[in-house]
Amino acid sequence: MSYQTNPQLELAENYLRNTGVSIFLTGKAGTGKTTFLRHVLPILNKRYVVVAPTGVAAINAGGVTIHSFFQLPPCPYLPDVSELITEYQLPEGKKQMRKSRIDIIRTLDLLVIDEISMVRADLLDSIDNTLRRYRRNSRPFGGVQLLLIGDIHQLPPVVTADEEPYLKRVYNSPFFFDSKAFKKLSYITVELRTIYRQQDERFLSLLNRMRDNQYDNETLQLLNSRFVADIENHFKGQRSIPIRLTTHNVQADLVNRRNLEKLDSRERQFEATVSGSFPEGSYPAEKSLKLKVGAQVMFVKNDPSGAGRYYNGKIGVVSSFDDEEKRVVVESEGEAIEVEPVSWENVKYDIDPSDKTIRQTVDGTFTQYPLRLAWAVTIHKAQGLTFDNVIVDAADAFAYGQVYVALSRCRSLEGLVLSSRISSSCSFDNRDVESFSNAQPSEQETRSRYESNAFNYYIDMLFDLRSVNQLYDISLKIDQFNRAHLTNIAPKAVSQWNEQMPRLAALAEVYDKFRNQIARMTSGATTAAEAKAIVADRISKAVAYFETQLTDSQKSMLPLLDVEIDNKEHAARFKDMAETFSSIIGLKCACLKSVVEKGYSVEAYQKAKCDYLLKDGKTESKTKSKTKSKTEEVSNLYDLDYPEILPRLIAWRREKYEEADVRAYQVLTQKALMGIAKTLPRSIPELSKVKGIGKIKLRAFGEELIELVEQFCREKGI
């Protein structure tokens, strides 16, 4: 379908391109949700990936599955249910991702999730947990903008009987909108209203009533007027009959097999060619395709040649085989179409080393004739397809939305045939869906908030108060840790870090005042462009000020984090806090520096952010200053007269604990090392006075330590 825009699609595109607000893009079947996705992604100046809950949905959306991208185990994510033992609860469930995948996650601007109606609440929370963990960002989904595409009135998430009682303990419903993370997310809803699939107003009205679960007598009477009791006799003698939509695979397979067996022509079997990595669950066509002349088939891919000879969902009949040219000839709508094998690609995401963009690379291919037997297909596999004529067999519909999905595949009421009657029992009491739908803000309200959201996005890029508050919060945690555990080990580091705290607190306060000032200055502006012009000069001066202040703090505080801690748990905790602090302040400084040097635009700022993150934050200011020697830094941290001896003592201890395969403190504690470095004992009696050196340590290491100290003193002339 060629791209046709409308006011709702334009609204969604504006929000996507010019704000950081997450979007739930919904709409009835046939409103162009997937077409919008294919249109808008190539023109975005954002780093994005596309994921979907199933392999086939991912292939159709041009992305990857949720589980493969986030490397999630195939089990419920319910960490609050202690007795439910899954891979998430086990240590190996938190295995480290590949660095290339972490790089993508850390630099991601936008996450697109297609077919969101099938994404379960716990799966969405698992995505949130992964994004927050690797981005070191406590905001919902790690601060990534989401584009959620789907219709909650269509196919729901799958919950097994075993999983249901556990899910009910945590969530109100299995739908994505009941996930914990989604409830914290600020988002807008855009509902597409223009239906491109059906033009029959009477049929449209009927479908809308079904979607809204309004199965009144008039609706049922109109629907059941399409019921045909004897399908076979009804279509007897016709070369092609409408495709039948069933609820289960076994039903569709049975119908197709029986009809194929009725044909007297010779059966041909075509094996797909699979290369590279292409999971079997993601196969877009049959691995072994069995066909005969006279077989009714459906195309399962759009014509890749661009000639438009066929499209996904087009129905036809096999008329002949060209063995020499390896072609299948399909007759459809009076035209003979020569069909050759085509390839589907299973893609993965990587960082392009040349320009650092997120790119798709082919991980594997599946090559097969783009055909499948089409006397019947499941409702699930028909999602997203459109048929002129269809037989619906929904007697065994078991999921909310299945009947609606099946009926909405057809273009008109006249093209619809029912093999079983539709009754009021086909309606489903799903108050969760209705409650969520009714709670969505109006389109007018969403439109009225656009300009302010666009301007806030422009300002938030530069002056995100949350990042400064987060920086102060983590520095406060480090200060508390220092005073609790490092006062005796590195007193100068503890003192100097504490002295820097008021500066960060003041900076957060200035940030807050600046945002309020910007709000006052732009209160009369009616568009984002007008607001930007008003504050341009003020922003330029503010950037220069904040860049200077943060860079000074960075240079003063990062060296204070280079402390040796021998307690394994304390060391791990301190390392985590230090890396978080370093990452936040390093990123902010790098981005502000770029703006000072090159001016400000959202695109340039995002590029500077990406460049820093892909370097792992290894900027000059993050690494140790080249103007200072290691001993000068140690002196600043530990308050020693002769700091040069401490690295030697640390190296000696490392050799001992690695040789004995024990922890560092089991050889000598950090406090004992500091005592030796401070007093420089040259005899056993002097060494015995050092705290942490008892009789056992004296016997084991006394002579070696005395020799190490004496050699150092001789070198220094002490």
pLDDT digits (tens, 9 = 90+) for 381-411: 887 778 888 999 866 665 556 788 888 888 8
Q: Rounded CA gap, 188 and 676, in Å?
A: 63
- Residue 512 in this model has a pLDDT that exceeds 90: no
Q: Residue 392's closest CA among 425, 415, 366, 368?
A: 415
Answer yes or no: do 624 and 650 share one domain.
no
- Mean pLDDT of the region 57-83: 88
**Which neighbouring-strand residues pair with 147?**
23, 112
- Per-residue model confidence (pLDDT) at position 309: 92
Answer yes or no: do 349 and 482 share one domain.
no
- Per-residue model confidence (pLDDT) at position 624: 42
- Residue 618 in this model has a pLDDT that exceeds 50: no
- Per-residue model confidence (pLDDT) at position 716: 86
Show which of 410, 427, 444 is a domain's final residue. 427
Show which of 610, 630, 650 is a domain's final residue. 630
- Residue 628 in this model has a pLDDT that exceeds 50: no
DSSP H or E segment with residue 491: helix 491-521
Q: Which of 103-117, 160-174, 538-552, 659-673 has the lowest mean pLDDT?
A: 659-673
Identify which of 36-40, 108-112, 451-455, 538-542 has the greatest average pLDDT. 108-112
Q: Domain holding 14: CATH number?
A: 3.40.50.300
- Per-residue model confidence (pLDDT) at position 627: 38
Answer yes or no: do 38 and 94 share one domain.
yes
The answer as to whether 439 is a domain residue is no
* More confidently predicted of 191 and 356: 191
Residues 218-239: tens digit of each pLDDT: 888 888 899 998 888 888 878 7
The answer as to whether 463 is a domain residue is yes
Cα dist. 421→55, 203, 227, 397, 425 in Å?
33, 17, 6, 12, 11
Q: Rounded CA gap, 414 and 231, in Å?
A: 15
Q: Residue 653's closest CA among 606, 601, 701?
A: 701
Q: Rounded CA gap, 515 and 528, in Å?
A: 15
b/e per residue, 215-254, with b = 16+ CB within 10 A?
Answer: beeebbebbeebeeeebeeebeeeebbbbbbbbeeebbee
What integer best gives the mean pLDDT of the chain? 86
- Residue 32 in this model has a pLDDT that exceeds 60: yes
Answer yes or no: do 467 and 555 share one domain.
yes
The answer as to whether 333 is a domain residue is yes
Query: What residues contact residue 163 under an 8 Å CB cut-off, 6+ apart?
Result: 76
Alpha helix locations (H) across 355-422?
379-382, 402-407
Answer yes or no: do 564 and 656 share one domain.
no
Residue 385 and residue 312 in contact, taking contact as beta carbons nearer than 8 Å: yes
The answer as to whether 588 is a domain residue is yes
Share of residues in the chain with pLDDT > 90 (%): 42
Residues 328-373: tens digit of each pLDDT: 999 998 899 999 999 999 999 988 887 778 888 999 999 999 999 9
- Residue 515 in this model has a pLDDT that exceeds 50: yes
Q: Domain holding 677: CATH number?
A: 1.10.150.80
- Residue 535 in this model has a pLDDT that exceeds 80: yes
Answer yes or no: do 524 and 671 share one domain.
no
- Mean pLDDT of the region 259-278: 95
Answer yes or no: do 403 and 536 share one domain.
no
Residues 286-311: tens digit of each pLDDT: 999 999 999 999 999 888 888 889 98
The answer as to whether 348 is a domain residue is yes
Answer yes or no: do 187 and 65 share one domain.
yes
- Per-residue model confidence (pLDDT) at position 94: 59
- Residue 637 in this model has a pLDDT that exceeds 80: no
* More confidently predicted of 673 and 635: 673
Answer yes or no: do 612 and 470 share one domain.
yes
The answer as to whether 445 is a domain residue is no
pTM above 0.85, yes or no: no
Answer yes or no: do 653 and 586 share one domain.
no
- Residue 29 in this model has a pLDDT that exceeds 60: yes
- Mean pLDDT of the region 77-106: 77
The answer as to whether 434 is a domain residue is no
Q: Give the count of domains, the chain.
A: 4
Burial of 138 (0-12, 13-18, 19+ CB in 10 A): exposed
Answer yes or no: do 478 and 582 share one domain.
yes
DSSP-assigned letter for residue 682: -
Answer yes or no: do 285 and 398 share one domain.
yes
The parent domain of residue 310 ranges over: 201-427
Show which of 182, 197, 212 is a domain's final residue. 197
The answer as to whether 462 is a domain residue is yes
- Mean pLDDT of the region 496-509: 91
Residues in the chain: 718
Q: Which amino acid is at 685?
A: P
Alpha helix locations (H) across 91-244?
99-106, 121-135, 164-170, 180-184, 201-211, 217-224, 231-234
